[in-house]
Structure 1
């Protein structure tokens, strides 16, 4: 027994020490496309917002506590319509004090005029000197100046009392509310935003490398085209204004385009189309075909002879919808993996994905089942 046990134990130990061969990597199915040059129309698209040509930030000309807001955001208003009110009590008291000071100055003026009249008669009769009459005349002039000053101050206080009610400068739509009742606002603090009725602009931003091309269109009538969100109709637009400096956060330049008399709504989203020179023999790939490796944009090239894939660095010239415009790195006729790029490794074997129901799938099925084809031929006989 012992003689048989020892050889069996040795075989078991050898089997345990031997390494299990690694499993073969599965052959993945990939979608592919053949690279072909195409002509790009050279049109850039920018997201834009419809805004009013003139938009005012309305504020009180005096400070106080906001007690009423008479309009809401989105409400249409007319010129001169009351929009908000602050507590007018202190302003009314100031107006009353100014009016009282004016009344006091007028009484003082009346007294000075009466004294000057009497002293003038005494001077004519020789009872007083001319110097005394001059002093009374100076007093009369000072009283008249005090009345003018008090009248002007009363006018200022009256105006400030009327400033307690904020009114619309022009007809338009309230686009924003910056203060609510109960807040104490100082003079000049924005309370409401008013978009004036009238011309409308499509406002969008362009990067620094394209601002020169857009600025060249400045003032050219209908040089741009605009498509409203959810509407395929294309409307003309004219570049009216290009920002002189870039936005400090986005580093883009704001552009305002006049949309003329188009039926648009405030805040509506639009796509502005800017024509550019057409580019010939440009390769366009779906976004899913491009990936980033070692800081470079790359694609997988398929070698038909070995059915393996290798990465290839490309130069991206831009984007057009859901496609990438390739500026270099590919040649016509090369086969590129169009989907599943993140699951591949260099040198990996793959097979081309065949759409079920296609002619290629039917041919593959007939090759895989030769017996069925023989049976069909036998039945035909």
Structure 2
């Protein structure tokens, strides 16, 4: 039985030696990696802020006079041109006031002409002439007000746009200022975001930004800062309104969630950053990257390099406070399969620059 075991072991040893004898002359396997060249220190950082879209021209339209609604011409979803009638209230009482104002205006103007003729022939005093003139002006002002009240009985579209919602129905009594129809113009869309107090000074009217809408994946919209509020909101941020550029075939509606990305000055001064996947390790004190020292254009040798990491940016990059220099190559893919001193292959078509 022992003889059988010894023979088996001998066969295995012979097989192993035979295999190892074929190894000399075979070059060691070179592991391919993807590397990134560390760019020069960045003077700006990308910061993103969330908000909600709204129409540039949008309003809840009220009547400027009180009354009972007798006609509603607006229908939700319908397009209306500027000046189109949307609703009308009962103006019979205002029309009666207008008739009285017209009659009083005629009487006051006739009286002024009569007194003026007498005044010019010294048959009326200056006080009588001034009183007649004041009465005429008062009558004309009352007439103007009465005419406006009758006109205000018809609500009209302030610009070309769409009826979003009809808020009141026929036969309802509405007070002046009560919203009746909600409209949205065709002047474009905007996004209002909240910017923290420590960054608001870095945002200027006219600044450019890039906007992404949650319901439109893969779409990036150019935007321009149109307005910066000086009043802090309830969530302690400052509202900043951006006008969105129109994009053919992209339907942006009011009330959508969006995110605006700004390129702002780096508050900590110029700093390096690399893709977050380059960094290996747990606690900040033990984080490191694999730096590649090129041997030639095809290969290099990896070195484990401790680094000081900073904050993670919204674009997936992480700030580096120390340990790297611009121009060095760091491994971004395959970082968990390397050991110090290993030779790696640099495939030209897979190299990417930061």
TM range (shorter): 0.5 to 0.7
Equivalent of residue 236 in structure 1, options 213, 222, 225: 222
Deviation at 1:237, TM superposition (A): 1.8
C-alpha spacing 1:152/1:207, structure 2 compared with 1 (3 Å): closer
Aligned to 1:171: 160
C-alpha spacing 1:212/1:91, structure 2 compared with 1 (3 Å): same
Aligned to 2:238: 253
Q: Aligned ranges for residues 1-381 of structure 1 at < 5 Å?
A: 43-105=46-108, 112=114, 116=118, 133-134=123-124, 142-143=131-132, 146-213=135-202, 215=203, 218-220=205-207, 223-228=208-213, 229-247=215-233, 249-263=234-248, 264-267=251-254, 268-275=256-263, 280=273
In 2: Cα distance, 1:325 partner to 1:255 partner: 27
Deviation at 1:170, TM superposition (A): 1.7
In 2: Cα distance, 1:203 partner to 1:49 partner: 6
Deviation at 1:89, TM superposition (A): 1.6
Count of matched residue positions in the alignment of Structure 1 and Structure 2? 246
Q: Deviations 1:46-82 (Å, cap 9, x if unpaired)?
A: 4343323333342222222333332134432211111
Secondary structure of the corresponding residue to residue 261 of structure 1:
coil
Contact persistence 1:282–1:327 (CA under 8 A): no
C-alpha spacing 1:283/1:146, structure 2 compared with 1 (3 Å): closer
In 2: Cα distance, 1:211 partner to 1:105 partner: 60
In 1: Cα distance, 2:173 partner to 2:53 partner: 33
Deviation at 1:254, TM superposition (A): 1.6
Deviation at 1:151, TM superposition (A): 3.7
In 2: Cα distance, 1:177 partner to 1:143 partner: 48
Deviation at 1:168, TM superposition (A): 1.7
In 2: Cα distance, 1:252 partner to 1:243 partner: 10
Unaligned stretches of 5+ in structure 1? 1-38, 121-129, 285-297, 299-314, 329-381
Deviation at 1:232, TM superposition (A): 1.1
Secondary structure of the corresponding residue to residue 219 of structure 1:
coil
Secondary structure of the corresponding residue to residue 205 of structure 1:
strand
C-alpha spacing 1:192/1:318, structure 2 compared with 1 (3 Å): farther
Deviation at 1:146, TM superposition (A): 3.8
C-alpha spacing 1:46/1:144, structure 2 compared with 1 (3 Å): closer
C-alpha spacing 1:252/1:113, structure 2 compared with 1 (3 Å): closer
Secondary structure of the corresponding residue to residue 148 of structure 2:
helix
For the pair shown, the structure with the greater C-alpha radius of gyration is: 1
In 1: Cα distance, 2:133 partner to 2:209 partner: 66
Deviation at 1:157, TM superposition (A): 1.0
- Give the RMSD, CA atoms, in angstroms: 4.5
C-alpha spacing 1:283/1:209, structure 2 compared with 1 (3 Å): farther
